[in-house]
Amino acid sequence: MLTTHLLAIFLISAIVSHSKALRFPQELYNLSSNQIFIVDNLSRPPSSSASPTPLLSPAVSSPLVPALFIIGDSTVDCGNNNYLGTFARADRPPYGRDFDTHLPTGRFCNGRIPVDYLALHLGLPFVPSYLGQTGELEDMLHGVNYASAAAGIIFSSGSELGQHISLTHQIQQFSDTYQQFVLSLGEDVTIDLISSSVLYVSIGINDYIHYYLRNVSNVQNLYLPWGFNQFLASTMRQEIKNLYNTNVRRFVVMGLPPIGCAPYYLQRYKSNNGECVEEINDMIMEFNFFMRYMTDELLHELPDAGIIFCDVFQGSMDIIRNHKSYGFESTANACCGLGKYNGWMMCMSPQMACRNASDHIWWDQFHPTDAVNAILADNVWSSRHTEMCYPMNLEKMVFSQSLNNLV
């Protein structure tokens, strides 16, 4: 049966339901029936300004998990870097122009990032940034986003851009949140809350962009790509075990995207017709291979943990190769930027942006559009477009572990 502690979590959640965290967008929240509606399109969801139609029947009416916690980099940063001294910030237009508020929030996208869509699938409000919330219990009870743009697995990755919150520091912030829950809710309730929630990890790409590919500290002479990938994967393995020791039991570990196809590297490596840079993509595929193998090892080592690895490279390449069927016109050019493929200069003003981001795969030099994020999130949740999560998708993990709790 569900434990008394877990029932207490949902009771507390209901009491503080007027959290200051960003609410469900009104177009997705039917107040009269308390149902969530998610845009449905057999090829891909359009931008968030489109009129929604029900995807799930019946729709989610209560949270499937107590909370969603997020650790990562610019792929999932929702505003932490707004409070830091760094060039890696997305707090200016045209970032956020297609978001629910049509304002920049710190998300490196024209609209939503993947964890926004996953929060809706889980029946949760958008997760607030760690530095943007007040520190009150009600602001953190449904989850916290610790992600910081430019952060990497290696402590110093991305440091040339200014301040960022490293992976190690993000995990420390999560531990601080855990201790605050213990002080406010008690240890037993906190253990049930954390072990029943989902922790989403998306980090590692900056260790290539800002470290290995720039040959910082002569790293390329010290490590061949294979050895560098092994080093990163082994570090991630230890950090996941550290989080497990903080009673996390449901992990979503994201692989890395095909940055060899990103506009920045297409222009830098002088791609003629938008062909991806294979030597970079080969490194990314290798890292993802190690991460999937590491997931298998941890599942045997930590039998009571649910860990899924989602191969973003695989899901993204399916979109690029079959872009017409997904409704995309441009696979190489960023919507916002300057130079060849709009990859030479970062997105800095609304005048640099295309009119319609929804037919582009890339928003800026490195980051995908809202439309791509929606597809990838659907794959993480239910493998809707392609199987990219192993050994199962998030929906199956949530419901299978929920059934186990009822036994």
The upper half-sphere exposure of residue 139, i.e. CA atoms within 13 Å in the direction of its Cβ, equals 13
CA–CA separation, 135 and 130 (whole Å): 8
Residues in the chain: 407
SS3 string, the chain, reads CCCHHHHHHHHHHHHCCCCCCCCCCHHHEECCCCEECCCCCCCCCCCCCCCCCCCCCCCCCCCCCCCEEEEECCCCCCCHHHHCCECCCCCCCCCCCCCCCCCCCCCCCCCCCHHHHHHHHCCCCCCCECCCCCCCHHHHCCCCECCCCCCCCCCCCCHHHECCCCHHHHHHHHHHHHHHHHHHHCHHHHHHHHHHCEEEEECCCHHHHHHHCCCHHHHHHHCCHHHHHHHHHHHHHHHHHHHHCCCCCEEEEECCCCHHHCHHHHHHCCCCCCCCCHHHHHHHHHHHHHHHHHHHHHHHHCCCCEEEEECHHHHHHHHHHCHHHHCCCEEEEECECECHHHCCECCCCHHHECCCHHHEEECCCCCECHHHHHHHHHHHHHCCCCCCEECCCHHHHHHHHHHHHHC
> Looking at the DSSP assignment, which residues form a beta bridge with residue 309?
253, 390
CA–CA separation, 307 and 304 (whole Å): 10
Listed by start position, the domains of the chain span 68-259+278-316+370-405
Q: In which residue are the tokens 């979109």 written?
A: 319
Long-range contacts: 88-93, Cβ < 8 Å, 24+? 88/149, 88/150, 88/158, 88/161, 88/162, 88/164, 89/149, 90/149, 92/348, 93/349, 93/350
CA–CA separation, 229 and 233 (whole Å): 6
pLDDT per residue of the chain (407 residues) written in tens, 0 to 9:
444 444 444 444 443 433 333 433 333 333 223 333 333 333 444 433 332 323 332 235 689 999 999 999 999 999 999 999 999 999 999 999 999 999 999 999 999 999 999 999 999 999 999 999 888 899 899 999 999 999 999 999 999 999 999 999 999 999 999 999 999 999 999 999 999 999 999 999 999 999 999 999 999 999 999 999 999 999 999 999 999 999 999 999 999 999 999 999 999 999 999 999 999 999 999 999 999 999 999 999 998 999 999 999 999 999 999 999 999 999 999 999 999 999 999 999 999 999 999 999 999 999 999 999 999 999 999 999 999 999 999 999 999 866 555 44
Catalytic residue numbers? Answer: 74, 364, 367
Torsion sign over Cα 166, 335, 104, 120: negative
SS3 string, 201-228, reads EECCCHHHHHHHCCCHHHHHHHCCHHHH
The CATH class of the 68-259+278-316+370-405 domain is alpha beta
Which tokens in the block code for residue 76?
């999932």
Q: What is the pLDDT of residue 60?
A: 56
Cα 90 to Cα 20, 231, 352: the distances in Å are 21, 30, 14
Q: What is the pLDDT of residue 23?
A: 38
Q: What is the pLDDT of residue 303?
A: 85
Cα 4 to Cα 9, 13, 189, 278, 324: the distances in Å are 9, 14, 9, 53, 51
CA–CA separation, 103 and 202 (whole Å): 24
In angstroms and rounded to an integer, the radius of gyration of the C-alpha atoms of the chain is 20
- The b-or-e profile of 91-105 (16+ CB within 10 A means b, else e) is eebbbbbbbbeeebb
Q: Which of 331, 314, 220, 332 is nearest to 258 (CA)?
A: 314
C-beta of residue 25 within 8 angstroms of C-beta of residue 48:
yes
Compute how many other C-beta atoms are within 10 angstroms of the C-beta atom of residue 19.
18
Q: What is the pLDDT of residue 402?
A: 62
CA–CA separation, 12 and 216 (whole Å): 48
Record the pTM: 0.86
